[in-house]
Amino acid sequence: MSLIRALQPSLISPQIRLISSTCVLNKNQSGRYKVTPKKDRPLTYEQSNPPHQIGHRKAWNSWNVANLKKEKPGVHQREPQMITEDFFIRKFMTATFHGIVCSEVIIKRQFNLIRVAFIMSRQLPPRKMYFLIGYTEELLSYWLQCPVTLEINTVADKRDVIYKYI
């Protein structure tokens, strides 16, 4: 019981109530991948660029017109829906093309058209790949109520898209 009374703020002496601070660590670690001791973590080109280079090297991948200011009131109501749609599209693409997506899924919106771009490995036969492309475009167009096109590049192996190891 005496311990609880000792911890109450009214009983703490004024000499103990001092502001303490630690030294500032100037680490810009957000958005960066941690270097492994063996330097065996593979990174693609998009992943290897630090966050402060997004406007210079990754500008085409980072444009999002939903965040632009509109002059009319009530126009921003679609932004949360677009964010959830983008999240759904990315999850649907990685699940449909399971294990063969080699890069980030890039979503580009132009007026009423949604273009989805990514790189995949050539593990599937062409007939199955074309079926999955048509299946994906049809389902996403039906669910999102707008035309969806896929822009897919293929590589022979997943290791072909590795830019560097950290």
Q: Which domains does the chain have, with CATH numbers?
A: 33-63+77-165 (3.30.70.1350)
CA dihedral of residues 155, 149, 94, 89 (deg, nearest 10)? 150
Residues 129 and 98: beta-carbon distance below 8 Å: no
pLDDT score recorded for residue 151 = 92
Between CA 113 and CA 118 the distance in angstroms is 17
Structure tokens at 159: 């290791």
pLDDT score recorded for residue 127 = 92
Higher model confidence: residue 138 or residue 25? 138
pLDDT score recorded for residue 1 = 53
pLDDT score recorded for residue 131 = 93
Structure tokens at 139: 């389902």
pLDDT score recorded for residue 162 = 82
Q: What is the pTM of this model?
A: 0.66
Question: What Å distances lie between residue 41 and 35, 38, 90, 163, CA to CA?
Answer: 8, 8, 23, 11
pLDDT score recorded for residue 52 = 74
pLDDT score recorded for residue 148 = 92
pLDDT score recorded for residue 51 = 73
pLDDT score recorded for residue 123 = 86
pLDDT score recorded for residue 150 = 92
Question: Is residue 22 pLDDT above 70, yes or no?
Answer: no
pLDDT tens track for 91-147 = 999 899 888 888 888 888 887 888 999 888 888 888 999 999 999 999 999 998 989
**Stretch 5-19: mean pLDDT:** 57
Higher model confidence: residue 158 or residue 78? 158
pLDDT tens track for 36-81 = 888 888 887 777 777 777 677 766 665 566 666 665 565 556 677 8
